[in-house]
Amino acid sequence: MRSEHVNTTFIEQLGSILEPQFILTADQDKTPYLTDWRKRFTGKALAVVFPKTSDEVAKIVRLCSDSNISIVPQGGHTGFCGGATPDASGKQIILNLKRMNAIREIDRANQTITLEAGCILQTVQEKAAQEDFLFPLSLGAEGSCMIGGNLATNAGGTNVLRYGNTRDLCLGLEVVTAKGEIWNGLKGLRKDNTGYDLRDLFIGSEGTLGIITAAVMKLYPLPVSQWTTLVAVDNIASSIALLNLFQKRATSLLTGFEMMTEESLDLNEKHFPQMANPLKGKPPYTVLIELSDYESEEHVRQLLESVLEEAFDGSLITDAVIASNLTQANAFWHMREHITLAQAEEGANLKHDITIPLSSLERFISQTDALMKAQYPGIRIINFGHLGDGNLHYNIAPPLGLDSQEFNRQYEKPIHDLIYAQVEACHGSISAEHGVGQLKLDGLRAHKGSVAHDLMKALKTALDPQNILNPHKVVSI
C-alpha cells in the first residue's frame, strides 16, 4: 500500500475519535507546533491532534499502534532539549495536551490538587493561591509550560531547595500506556510501598514510556511573608559559605538561593536596561536570597538582617539590598529570570544545565573557566543558576562579533566535550533539570555508563515494544 494512502486512511480514522477542528493537517496550521522554544529543532508532522479526555488519548494511541505511527507528546513546548519536537520524517503525530486543562479536585484536608496534564503552571499556582495554598513549582516558563510537561521533564526551577523537584511534589498519576490502556494511579497517598514505583518511572521519562494525562500534586500552606535580598559576593567559595550559613540559621525558611555572575548580568542589562543590578559597582557574583515565613513579617525580617550582618562580619558579602516591597522583590526575580531571554536576544548559545556537588563547585568553575578562556579567547561564559541545588546554567556565548550559528556549528562538540569532561571529573550530571530529549541523546550513554543505559533501554523496550512513544528521545532502542 502506498504511504499516502495509509496516511489518508489514518487521518480519516482520527476523524472518528476527534472533531475535525482538533486535527491539524495543513502546513500553515501545524507550523507553530513544529519548532522548539530555542529554535534549535524543527520537524515535520503528519498531524497535530488535541484530545480533550484520557479516553480520547487512549483511542489515539491504539490507532497509532495499529497503524505503526509514532507519537510526540507535547505540552507548552518550552522544553530545552527538543523532546516535544517531531523528527524530520513527517510520519509522526504531535499529541498536544492543551485541551486537557481541567482542575478535577482540590482536597483541602489532604492538601492536594488533582489536575489534568494540559493545565498551565501559572494557572495552577493562581488556583492554589485562591484556595489559600501554595503550589511551589516555579520557573521562568510558568506562563506557558504545562503540568504534564513539568512532570515529563521532572522540572526544577527556583523552589527546589525547599520543596524539591516536580517529582517530589507528585503523589499520583494517570497515564495512557503505549498499548493505549489507561493506568489510574491517582491516589493522593504519602505512603504506598506496593511494589515498583510506576509513578516515579513515568516522571522524567519525557514522553517515552507513557502519556501523562492527569496528576495528584501536593499543596502547601501559603507563606505569610517573603523577604527577598540581593547580595554582592567576591567569589564562589564565599557564595557557598553564605548558603551554608543561611541553611544553618534560616533552615526551612530558606526558599531561594540563586547565583548570577557579572557577565550574565551585563548581558541582561544590554538587552533589558531597566533590569540593571541595584548593587553598587559590578560584583563578580550576585546572589538572590529569598526567605519565606509562616509566622510574622517581623520575625523573618529580623532573621534576614541578623544573618546578613553575620555574613558582612565574616567578609562573605560586600553589599546587600533588601527588597522593600513586593514590586522590588519581583524586579529582583525578573532580573534573574531574564538572563535566559537576554541570551536568546543575543543569538544562539550553548547551554550546559549541570549539577555539581557543592563541595566541588569552586574547583569546577575555576578549572573550566580557565580551560575555556585559554582555548576560546574572547568566549563569554554566562554562568548563573540555582546555586542552592548545585545547579549551574553554564552557558556559552561566542566572542563578540562572531556569528553565533556559525560558531556553534564549528565548536559545539568540542565545547560540550570539554565542559562535560569537567562535569564527569567532579561527579556531576550533564542534565540537572532540563532533561535529555534529542539534544543529549548521544551524550547519555557515556554519562550514565553502559549498565544504567542498558537498564533504561530494557525499560523502554518492556513498556513500549513497538517504539511508538517519542522514539529517539532519551534512549534509542
For the CB of residue 387, give the shortest distance to ligand FAD in the complex, in Å: 13
Binding residue for ligand FAD (CB under 6 A) from 46, 49, 61, 72?
72
Beta strands in 235-343 (DSSP E): 254-261, 285-293, 319-322
Answer yes or no: are the C-beta atoms of 425 and 382 closer than 8 Å: no
Binding residue for ligand FAD (CB under 6 A) from 212, 253, 361, 419?
212
For the CB of residue 466, give the shortest distance to ligand 2HG in the complex, in Å: 33
Q: How far is CA 268 from CA 162, 262, 283, 337, in A?
A: 27, 10, 14, 10
Q: Identify which of residues 24 and 230 has a Cβ nearer to ligand 2HG in the complex.
A: 230
Pairing status of strand 170-177 against strand 225-233: unpaired
Task: Report 140-179 residues binding ligand FAD (CB under 6 A).
Answer: 140-141, 145-146, 148-150, 152-153, 155-157
The binder of 146, among ligand FAD, ligand 2HG, none, by C-beta within 5 to 8 A per type, is ligand FAD
Distance CA 18, CA 429 (A): 42
Distance CA 474, CA 477 (A): 10
Q: Is 180 in the site for ligand FAD (CB under 6 A)?
A: no
In terms of Cα–Cα distance, which of 129, 113, 176, 120 is closest to 148?
120
| Residue-by-residue DSSP string for 197-221 | -HHHHHTTSTTSSEEEEEEEEE-EE
For the CB of residue 156, give the shortest distance to ligand 2HG in the complex, in Å: 7
Answer yes or no: are the C-beta atoms of 334 and 326 closer than 8 Å: no
Q: Is 393 in the site for ligand 2HG (CB under 6 A)?
A: yes
CB atoms within 10 A of CB 144: 15
Q: Is 471 in the site for ligand FAD (CB under 6 A)?
A: no
Distance CA 320, CA 305 (A): 10
> Interface with ligand FAD by CB under 6 A: which range of 18-26, 66-74, 245-253, 420-428?
66-74
Q: Is 347 in the site for ligand 2HG (CB under 6 A)?
A: no
Q: Could you tell me the strand order of the sheet in which 93-96 lies?
A: 23-24, 47-49, 93-96, 71-74
> Interface with ligand 2HG by CB under 6 A: which range of 88-96, 241-249, 336-344, 355-363?
336-344
Q: Is 388 in the site for ligand FAD (CB under 6 A)?
A: no
Q: Helical H runs in 101-146?
A: 121-130
Cell digits for 286?
550576585
Answer yes or no: are the C-beta atoms of 210 and 176 closer than 8 Å: yes
The binder of 152, among ligand FAD, ligand 2HG, none, by C-beta within 5 to 8 A per type, is ligand FAD
Q: Is 51 in the site for ligand FAD (CB under 6 A)?
A: no
Q: Is 211 in the site for ligand FAD (CB under 6 A)?
A: yes
Binding residue for ligand 2HG (CB under 6 A) from 77, 199, 351, 440?
351
Binding site for ligand 2HG (CB under 6 A): 140, 337, 340, 343, 351, 353, 385, 393, 395
- What is the binding site for ligand FAD (CB under 6 A)? 37, 72-80, 83-84, 97, 117, 139-141, 145-146, 148-150, 152-153, 155-157, 206-207, 211-212, 340, 433-434, 437, 470, 473
